[in-house]
Amino acid sequence: MADLTETLDLLRRVDTPTVCNAIEVIDGKRGFDAFTRGRVLASDPAGVMVGRARTARISAVRPAQEPPEVIRARRMDYYRHMASGQGPRIAVVEDIDPAPVGAYWGELNTAVHKGFGMAGALTNGVMRDLGDLASGFPVLAGHVGPSHAFVHVTEVACRVEIFGLGIAPDDWLHADPHGAVVIADHCLPELPAAIAKMQRTERIVLDAARAPDFDFDRFEAAWTAFEAART
């Protein structure tokens, strides 16, 4: 079993579909539901992020109704929460507006969160400053827009829902331009072996399909071998 550092290094080199497939190998069954739904917008088409979730909720469609000092104190609580914690972390921010309009992620916030040592951001909300986002800090968002509108933090360190995926503070996440998946604690140490097994068994079908003499009979033989190997 690989140690955590080796596991995280491996996860940064694979895509999120690979992690989803490996979780199925660990669970011993096909299919699970701890992943995002629908299309996400990626600031970096090659960006991969792995880490524990630091969570919050925001709103931007209208000005905050609370006193300014309350809003400012919550904003500082937010940044304190994002800056805290050990190991790799991902900012996971749910925009609670029915139709998100305010860009929370831009040049400034990506620089700040990257400075905190975070791996990236996942949001159903809005990003902007696409040419000026902090390098090496991928953002997965639901929308692109020009203005931050009346954006303000409404809640910190709470359970959130992003693209149909429920995420709690400190959940392990893997995310890339395909979307995101929650990795259960019991799965994390098993992932290296599961990824290796999955890749090894898939080669049975891939090698057959890419051979010049591939036909249905060879497919059937390869698929039979594949099913036997993955169980």
Residue 27: predicted pLDDT: 85
Residue 214: predicted pLDDT: 98
Kindly give the interhelix angle for 4-11 and 191-209, rounded to the nearest 10 degrees: 30
- Pairing outcome for strands 179-183 and 172-176: antiparallel
Considering Cα of 25, then 26, then 30, then 32, what sign does the dihedral take?
negative
pLDDT digits (tens, 9 = 90+) for 120-148: 999 999 999 999 999 999 999 999 999 99
In this model, does residue 1 exceed pLDDT 80?
no
Q: How confident is the model at residue 229 (pLDDT cuts 50, 70, 90)?
A: confident
In this model, does residue 30 exceed pLDDT 90?
no
Residue 97: predicted pLDDT: 98
pLDDT digits (tens, 9 = 90+) for 79-124: 999 999 989 999 999 999 999 999 999 999 999 999 999 999 999 9
pLDDT digits (tens, 9 = 90+) for 63-84: 999 999 999 999 999 999 999 9
In this model, does residue 231 exceed pLDDT 70?
no
Mean pLDDT of the chain: 96
Delineate the domains of the chain, giving CATH numbers in brackets: 35-183 (3.50.30.40), 192-230 (no CATH)
Q: With contact defined as beta carbons under 8 Å apart, do 71 and 152 qualify?
A: yes
> Mean of the pLDDT values across residues 59-63?
97
Share of the chain above pLDDT 90, in %: 93
Nearest residue to 197 (alpha-carbon basis) of 31, 24, 60, 46: 24
Using CA atoms, how far apart are residues 87 and 183, in angstroms rounded to an integer? 15
Kindly give the interhelix angle for 191-209 and 216-230, rounded to the nearest 10 degrees: 170
What are the tokens at 51? 């880490």
Residue 94: predicted pLDDT: 98
In this model, does residue 212 exceed pLDDT 60?
yes
Using CA atoms, how far apart are residues 24 and 22, in angstroms rounded to an integer? 5
In this model, does residue 2 exceed pLDDT 70?
no
